Structure 1
Amino acid sequence: MEALTVFLAPRGITAGVREALTDWSGLGLIDSFIWIEPGMVSATRVNGLLVTAGNQDGVSLQSLAGTGSYDRIRLCVLVPGIAGHEQVDSSISQRIAEMLESSFGGRPVVRVRAVVARSGETAVLDGLAQGGWHNLVLSPEESAGPGLGHHQLYTTNDPFDWGVHAAATCAGVLGLWSGSTESLLDGEAPLPGERARLVRAFYRTMDTTAVGAELRDQVLSLGNGVPLPTYFGASAVYIEDSGLAARVMADQLWEKHGRSLHGEREHSAPQAVTAIGPWAAFKMMFGFLWAALKNAPRSWAQRVATRVKSETAAAVHGLVFGSAPSQYKVIVDGVDRDGLPVSWLEVREAAETLEKLLDDAGTPREHRAPADLASFWQDYADGALTLIDAGERVTALPPVQVGTQRAVLRRTSAAVPGPDSGFSDIPTPLAAVIQLDSLEPYDFLGTLSMEGRLQHAAGDPNLGIPASTALEALRRWKVVSEESYAVRVGTRIGQSLISVRSEVQQLLDQIRRAASADDMLAGVLARQKKLALWMKILLAALLLGLVVTAVLVAQETLDPLKGSGIGAGLAVVWLIATLLIFMNGQRELFHLMNARSQLLSDDEISRRNLSHALRDLHRLGGAYSQFLAWSRIIGTVLAEPFGRADDQARTQAKFVQGLPLNVKVGTATVQPAAVATAAAQLRHDIFAVGWLTRPWERAKATAGDLIGPRGYELTAHPEAIYRQSGDGELSLLRLWIGALDAAGTDSSPGQEIWAGVLKDITGPRSAISSGLVSTVSEVRDSAVVQTSLDAFMSGVDSTPDEGRLGHFDGAVLTDLARNAGRAAVERSVPFGSHSGLARQAGLIQLSGGIPQHEFLVARPADGNSWLGGAPQRASEDDTGGSFTMPEGPTF
């Protein structure tokens, strides 16, 4: 219920009330109010000061009536019971009350007249009580609590001393204190006749921000270890061999998804060895003999061996090597232009370039859909969450079991290291040389690259010492997280990329050898001339034998029949001998023909497999960039699943000086032992298996809003984030990482858990909260002291027994009234609220109705006016500019 509180006060000493209330408003101790003085009232306009959060702004009641919405309105007229001070004319107060009732939609107006009297004051007021108003006389006393001793407040002209006590009581009666939702006078009819009541008020507010922040930190923070979740009433246990658990989970993930990162391959069938038949042998032999006679045996051998041409292989190798020598060097030699070991980014870019070049070499072009790895990254995240909270998410990635109990890792970093776990111990000059300055702990390929580059730099005389030092630091750092789940998964992807790169190297080598297949003939061609010589000698021998035989037959020395037989025999011997020498001499040529045929047959498959391998290399590079991005995101969420802790909350203790004794503002003192005990009890009940599901789902659901306009597509479909690339200008993952680094994870899951904790410890388990706030720090005599909660409250948070409500100080009553027991407390009305561990409590005590003539500061009215002086006239100025700022206290 929103209420409008209006003070109407004369100028002068009442300024002390205004200043005290304004200061407390700035401290957040009281709600807003409006302050009006008679000089601010004109014939048609009522101006005032609106005090909110310590700020004073000019406002008119008419404009406020048109824009504000209030359920209840309270009007308090301050009546200083001090001689020589102005009073508010009854006509002004009556006019303002009626204007409030009519202008604010007929809302009821609680009319209060607060008479501030002090002990020993000689002034008297004409008409102390007024009909139709709640006439209250502030008891001139100061006490720490009900039923305790008090001391009188004597007459004074100090506006600050006078005002601070009056302000405290008025704030209590009017429900201005923080934690007070209503006033005890709301809905209560004023006393009949000219009667007034004594009143006193007590108020306590205890700030528990530091205690709450410490408890929240210990309950929700994972800095001191992962909580042991409960499962059917039993607690999980910690995993002792975290490396084994991480390796098994990574292996299970790879078993399910590893094949999605590799494309198809083609395999060549072994080339059948072609046997050379007799007729083919004779044809080849005579062909060679004819070439020998023409003195061209080498040309014949080359023509026979190169029936299958290698122009395609040569074109592919020439294009790859000639058009992209640097990319070729990256893939084959593994070094960049500066001679440094290449990074996986350079390998991925080189693969993309070479793949495009293959299209230009005749490989058919087609639209290639990017690999859909959404389920891979979803399962990767689920595996990390399961290692921390033992929840069942993916059948293939079950929780770790130790015996019959579920088990979790002790630290989130054993699953996925957080963003603060990176390595950056590289001097700036050295970082400029090796072109690397930092690493994430799960960046397997980046670590290999940095190690190689540091080793390379260590050989430089100018960089040897810093490079060796950095290399040693890198290796020590790597040991800390190399057994984590993220590193295991990154190693799997990185090793696959290295393996495919080696495959590309082999395929390029095969294509190179196919392109230079003609070089294989060099040795064979060198022996063709010698073989041709033997063939010529045999042919010459045959011809010589035939000539001799023919001469003998011609001379009739030899019988023609026998001569024919000898000639035929010589021809057969020559043919057999020539064939044997030819076949034996060309055995290497025949083997080379078959080998060359196999090589050139494999070349086409090698070129197609090269295209597949380059595509895999590019796919693995993209997957590795996604892996790095998802590891950063998951590591951030695991490090702070409930949002970032509010470090400023620990320094917001309020220590207020100058308060009256009946008002105390304290701060609960943090007691480490009590907080640790309470946190241990609460964590056991809060965290069940699968407790990380809510923070993770909330992180994904808010990613679109966190990213900004670019993340619009994720608002309706949060799961689309799994299909985003890991880097590049269009990557939403990179934008999400930047947003998480700047703003942290969504805190709503933590707020939900914390709200449940506060409800629990302020309800059925209130004993926990009592132990947390058992000691309070407060200002006493300009010094901060510690006291017990009971001593701080002094009974204000409980209603006194009806039989012993106590008495007011009767210094403002006549002897007759005191003897008649008019100073007795008739009612005690407590108020207050709990906001988590914080407490606001107050107590208002009232006497019964006392006739005004029984007050020392009152005398019977002899006129219609109860004022002590001449009535003030309203200003004639009707303009809106008639507002004047009230002056400060008048002494």
Structure 2
Amino acid sequence: MSQPAQNSAPAPASPTAPPTGRSLVVLAAPAGGPLAGIREALQDWSAIGLVGEYLWVEPGAGPADRGLLVTDGEVSPTTVEDVLATRRLDRIRLCILVPVVTAAEAASTQPIAPDVIAPDVEDRFAERVTLARGPATVDRLRCIVTRTDAAAGSAQVAREGWHNVVISPEDAAGPGLGMRMLSSTDDAIEIGPPAAAVLAGLTGLWAGIGAAPLDDQAILPGNTVRVARGYYRRLDADTVQQAVRGDVFSMRAGLPRPRTGTGQAATVEDVPAATTAMAQQLWTKHRSVLRGPRVEPPPSSAAKVGPLHAVRMLFGFIWATVRNAPMNWYRTMLNKVASKTASAVQSGVFGREPSAYEVVVRGVRPDGSPADWRELAAASGQLEDAFVESGQLSQPARADLGPLWQDYVGAALTLADAGDRGTQAGLPPITVGTDLGVIRRPADIAPGPDTRLDPDGLVPALHPADVLGSYTVEQRLSGARDLSGDRTLSRLRDWKARWQHSFVGRVGARLGKAVLDTQTEVRTLVEALAQAADLSEIEDETRRRQRKLAKLMRIFLVVFVVLEVILFVLRGLDVIDWSVVAFAGVGVLIAWLIGSFILFVRNQQALFSELNRRREIGSQAEANRQNLAYATRDLRRLTEAYDQFLAWSRVLGVLLAEPFGHDADARDDAASQTDGLPLSVRIGNAETDPAVVAEAVERARRQLFGAGWLTSGRQAPWLRVLADAPSRLGPRAMDLRDDPQRMFAEGSDQESLLLAWADDLERSGIGATGGDWYWSRIADGLNNSELSRQLVARVRVDGTVQDWVDFAANTDAATVAALRDGQQTLSPEIFGAEARVAGRHRIAQHWFTETNRGLSRIAVLIQLTDGLPVFELGLVEDAAGQQQQWQPPSADSVF
């Protein structure tokens, strides 16, 4: 941990990277006896997460022994061979525990040590571990657990070929502070915690550390021992971190004002104007994508009837009058130019889909109630298919709406972070004066899931973006005309008014209006075709006029025939000659033809006008047929686009409400339980100072939120949410793994990945993965600043608050560095007189490691002496015999 600053808070230290190898600690101890307290202490600490997994073994004289694998406080009976055979390990730390806790007087009277593992058993057990180790490195360590005034008796303190370490019988809060000497005792409960604390440091058992001071160190030659003591500190700053992180990432107070070239973006006060302007820009850019072509009928002029055609019509009419069927002739003339197009559309398309006709044209369901937009989408699809099957439309080519949705998302994000994503494309950021502007309230851009209309028996759970859905519900409620319906209608209208100014509401209104306008266009075209297919019957006035004309034409014909007969009669009576008959007959014929022609033409002006009108109707009907097909396809495209729009609006609502995901509550770490811990082990929780937290939050937000922060960098919130979609959707989203941008091209059918993704985001939220990445960098910045010292300046330990200096007690990185230059010593109680004079109890190695998790820290300090011959310890009574066995270390030995 760090050197305390003048304000008594810790200075940051570089975190020690945890070892990449996999290791296992094997503790071998006598069955029962005074060391049982160590086993109990370690198991309790394992349950609260202080120490990692370990194997406790009680070797026996035979091939089998009792083993207990302890993981998170859970104990599983096993053997060392079973554990090593099922794991791939890089390092095994084998530690033999040797108790030397009995008073010298009592130890001298015991011929054998019943609570000590015999040397041959130690060797056999170490050999078994070595044979079963696989590729792992085995570190052999013997830890002598002792007390002051204790004697080894028959126990062998040091053995050649092992790291022999004596745990100093002292307990202190930190190096250089007052200490409590541990006197001789056989009480396992009293022996356990102090010895377990040093043992955990020597074997790398402390959770989050994973390294040990004797890793890769050479074993000292002969019966050489070291004396060690250790300290452990754990600072839990999760509460402080959660307070800082929660306020940095939270949007409860509104979206941040990002940094821009001129300082900070301004807050948009006129939200409706800003959202309307951006929606209009988006709609103007992409309107053509949602509307297909239309055709106009060719210009027509009144067709003039030529003389020959008029003569043919005249004789046709005369013949009809002779047969007394002038009206049949009239109908025949009209039907020659009547439109067949409208009848084909009526029977070939709408006749096949009567229910679709009801929905699309009349806007009602079979029961007469208003049809909603989803039913309109299905019906328009059926009609389009009918047009295709009848040959009046080609097979549909799916419109690529990906650019539309990319711009839609980009426009929403621009309103939120003032990023310049579309200036050249016609979607620039909103400006407030000369500054870029942002809308601070996320729901003013895209309301989140919590803004849905609460459903009841009359209305479903509507999203604020669903303009068409609320329109249909409003229509239904307007026709209910009861008190309950009126109340619900009032609630619906209040809810609509609350969210209609949002950006998604503005875009939805335009898209919804396009759907309704296209439906109206389809209805108008259908009505026009229906009129063309069912031309009105001949009017009574026309009938009367045709009958009068027919009567006159018959009179003219009778007069002509009578005159011709008279001429032939007069010739028969020789009144006139043939020349007069011929000349007069031709004159009568010509007069009859001219008179009939003039009478016919003057009285058939209405016929000629009707013929021209019907020609125009036929031309218009053909154009209407084509336009109806195009409009039906547009209606289908618009309803599909509307469904996609709702999905993207839901995605945006989740994103803007929690761009960095939902943070978990500050964890209640069980390791804060400190009952029964020795003085050398201290666990504390950093106290939250609101003023310091506010300062840290403001600094972090200034660093994090620049213009365009939602898409700046590969780990930006929006890019991470989009990239996370394949993992949410599973194997069927495999194509998205290489290119998440393909999501913009997703449709709205039942297999749509877009709809499934929107559902999952609303159900599960974004997740804190993206926030974790950003927080790790924010935490790094805090660790390297003076502010981190202030954030953890006060620590709560056992219900009391103390300064950092008192909590760390010289176990932080800076202080340890200073200790290396000092003259730290262990308690001289277990050293012989010559060793004390020679300064053998002086600390030679300060092994310190620290891991950081944000502001939370774990630090372990192990202090060891140089190697010394075992006879220099006061634990050994037969110093002369031990001295004869001891060999001085060679020059190549590593200490």
TM-score range, shorter chain: 0.7 to 0.9
Shift of 1:267: 0.8
Superimposed CA distance per residue, residues 275-333 of structure 1 (whole angstroms, 9 cap, x where no aligned partner): 34566556655654554454433223222322223444224324445433322222222
Structure 1 residues 99 and 556, CA gap change in structure 2 (3 angstroms): closer
Shift of 1:427: 1.7
Matches within 5 A, 1:802-841: 828-841=846-859
Letter in 2 for 1:373: L
Shift of 1:683: 1.4
* Partner residue, 1:756: 777
* Partner residue, 1:392: 420
* Partner residue, 2:212: 183
Structure 1 residues 329 and 526, CA gap change in structure 2 (3 angstroms): farther
Structure 1 residues 759 and 122, CA gap change in structure 2 (3 angstroms): closer
Gaps of at least 5 residues in structure 2 are 1-18, 108-113, 885-895
Shift of 1:812: 5.5
Shift of 1:515: 0.9
Matches within 5 A, 1:461-480: 464-480=482-498
TM-score (norm 1): 0.84
Pick from 387, 399, 403: which aligns with 1:371?
Answer: 399
Shift of 1:17: 0.5
Shift of 1:599: 0.7
Letter in 2 for 1:417: P
Shift of 1:551: 12
Structure 1 residues 310 and 804, CA gap change in structure 2 (3 angstroms): closer
Shift of 1:167: 1.0
Letter in 1 for 2:75: Q
Matches within 5 A, 1:481-500: 481-500=499-518
CA distance in 1, matches of 2:258, 2:238: 28
Note if 1:56 corresponds to 2:75.
yes
* Partner residue, 2:803: 788
Note if 1:593 corresponds to 2:611.
yes
Shift of 1:821: 7.6
Shift of 1:574: 8.2
CA distance in 1, matches of 2:323, 2:311: 18
Superimposed CA distance per residue, residues 587-609 of structure 1 (whole angstroms, 9 cap, x where no aligned partner): 33332221112112222222122
Structure 1 residues 292 and 195, CA gap change in structure 2 (3 angstroms): closer
Note if 1:451 corresponds to 2:471.
no
Note if 1:89 corresponds to 2:118.
yes
* Partner residue, 1:719: 741
* Partner residue, 1:737: 758
Structure 1 residues 494 and 651, CA gap change in structure 2 (3 angstroms): farther
* Partner residue, 1:440: 463
Note if 1:271 corresponds to 2:292.
no
Matches within 5 A, 1:385-784: 385-394=413-422, 395-396=424-425, 397-423=427-453, 425-428=454-457, 430-431=458-459, 437-456=460-479, 458-459=480-481, 464-519=482-537, 521=539, 523-533=541-551, 582-647=600-665, 649=667, 654-693=672-711, 694=714, 695-728=717-750, 730-745=751-766, 747-763=768-784, 765=785, 767-779=786-798, 784=799
Shift of 1:48: 3.0
* Partner residue, 1:112: 142
Name whichever of 205-214 and 133-142 sits farther off: 133-142
8 Å CA contact 2:89, 2:136 repeated in 1: no
Superposition RMSD on alpha carbons, in Å?
4.1
Name whichever of 607-616 and 800-809 sits farther off: 800-809
Superimposed CA distance per residue, residues 672-698 of structure 1 (whole angstroms, 9 cap, x where no aligned partner): 332232121011112333332233333
Letter in 2 for 1:413: A
Structure 1 residues 719 and 803, CA gap change in structure 2 (3 angstroms): closer
Shift of 1:504: 1.1
Name whichever of 495-504 and 315-324 sits farther off: 315-324
- 1:519 match: secondary structure: coil
Letter in 1 for 2:638: L
Matches within 5 A, 1:352-367: 352-359=381-388, 362-364=390-392, 366-367=394-395
CA distance in 2, matches of 1:271, 1:7: 104
* Partner residue, 1:882: none
Name whichever of 805-814 and 329-338 sits farther off: 805-814
CA distance in 2, matches of 1:76, 1:123: 18
CA distance in 2, matches of 1:284, 1:762: 104
* Partner residue, 2:53: 32
Matches within 5 A, 1:218-229: 218-229=247-258
Note if 1:859 corresponds to 2:888.
no
* Partner residue, 1:884: none
Structure 1 residues 643 and 724, CA gap change in structure 2 (3 angstroms): same
Note if 1:73 corresponds to 2:93.
yes
Structure 1 residues 454 and 585, CA gap change in structure 2 (3 angstroms): same
* Partner residue, 2:7: none
TM-score (norm 2): 0.83
CA distance in 2, matches of 1:261, 1:358: 19
Superimposed CA distance per residue, residues 466-507 of structure 1 (whole angstroms, 9 cap, x where no aligned partner): 322222222222223322222222222222221221111111
CA distance in 1, matches of 2:825, 2:615: 119
CA distance in 2, matches of 1:824, 1:283: 136
Matches within 5 A, 1:5-404: 5-10=25-30, 11-39=32-60, 41-42=61-62, 44=63, 48-64=67-83, 67-71=87-91, 73-82=93-102, 86-97=115-126, 100=129, 104=133, 107=137, 109-117=139-147, 125-126=153-154, 129-132=157-160, 135-186=164-215, 199-232=228-261, 234-276=263-305, 284=313, 287-288=316-317, 291-292=320-321, 294-359=323-388, 362-364=390-392, 366-394=394-422, 395-396=424-425, 397-404=427-434
CA distance in 2, matches of 1:854, 1:792: 35
8 Å CA contact 1:331, 1:505 repeated in 2: yes
Shift of 1:268: 0.6
Name whichever of 165-174 and 813-822 sits farther off: 813-822
Structure 1 residues 840 and 521, CA gap change in structure 2 (3 angstroms): same
8 Å CA contact 1:714, 1:720 repeated in 2: yes
CA distance in 1, matches of 2:327, 2:837: 146
CA distance in 2, matches of 1:748, 1:124: 56
8 Å CA contact 1:342, 1:449 repeated in 2: yes
Letter in 1 for 2:401: L
Superimposed CA distance per residue, residues 738-788 of structure 1 (whole angstroms, 9 cap, x where no aligned partner): 44345543654433322221222212x2x2222222232332xxxx33333
8 Å CA contact 1:310, 1:517 repeated in 2: no
Identical-pair percentage: 35
8 Å CA contact 1:124, 1:857 repeated in 2: yes
* Partner residue, 2:9: none
Structure 1 residues 186 and 816, CA gap change in structure 2 (3 angstroms): same
Structure 1 residues 193 and 618, CA gap change in structure 2 (3 angstroms): closer
Structure 1 residues 651 and 36, CA gap change in structure 2 (3 angstroms): closer
8 Å CA contact 2:392, 2:626 repeated in 1: no
CA distance in 2, matches of 1:564, 1:533: 28
8 Å CA contact 1:31, 1:52 repeated in 2: yes
